[in-house]
Amino acid sequence: MAKRKDAPGDRISEAEHAVMEVLWERSPMTAAEVCEKVCAERDWTMPTVKTLLSRLVAKEALGTEPVGRKFLYRPLIERADYVGGESRRLVDRLFGGRAAPLFAHLAENEALTDKDLDEIEALLREMRR
């Protein structure tokens, strides 16, 4: 099945995102394999995982491949593309589309470590080249 580069039309919920993270880490996987990774830590059951997988297929975030009586699931969107879209929506919604107020907010609330600041400075230097 062909991969999508863009984010799905429908937003991915927090629970769906947990399933996507498992599949971005390793795919393809069966529903049982996904459940092995997330069910215990989230107190989910197999039907919950199957529901989430079905929703993600409907949103065109996941593709399926039948293998016998099971399906293998694989992401149709790249993690980096998803993160980029979500980051942009966050900045647009909370900070009027500007990144500087986001950084100011993080700095004012001591959410940035010295390591974070060093990495940001390095990124900015790289971007200016």
Task: Print pLDDT tens along the chain (129 aa).
Answer: 455 555 555 789 999 999 999 999 999 999 999 999 999 999 999 999 999 999 999 999 999 999 999 999 999 999 999 988 888 888 888 888 888 888 888 888 877 888 988 888 888 888 888
Establish if 1 belongs to a structural domain. Answer: no
Asked, for residue 65, whether it belongs to a domain, the answer is: yes
Q: Give the structural domain span for 63.
A: 14-77
Total domains in the fold of the chain = 2
The reported pLDDT for the residue numbered 24 is 97
pLDDT value for 5: 52
29 plus 68 within the same structural domain: yes
Q: Give the number of other Cβ atoms within 10 Å of residue 123's Cβ.
A: 10
- The values of phi and psi at residue 111, to 5°, are -90, -5
Are residue 52 and residue 102 in the same domain, yes or no? no
Asked if residue 30 is part of any domain, the answer here is yes
Query: What span, in angstroms and rounded, lies between the C-alpha atoms of 28 and 85?
Result: 23
Task: Tell me how far the alpha carbon of residue 77 is from its chain's centroid.
Answer: 9
Residue 63's domain is classified under what CATH number? 1.10.10.10
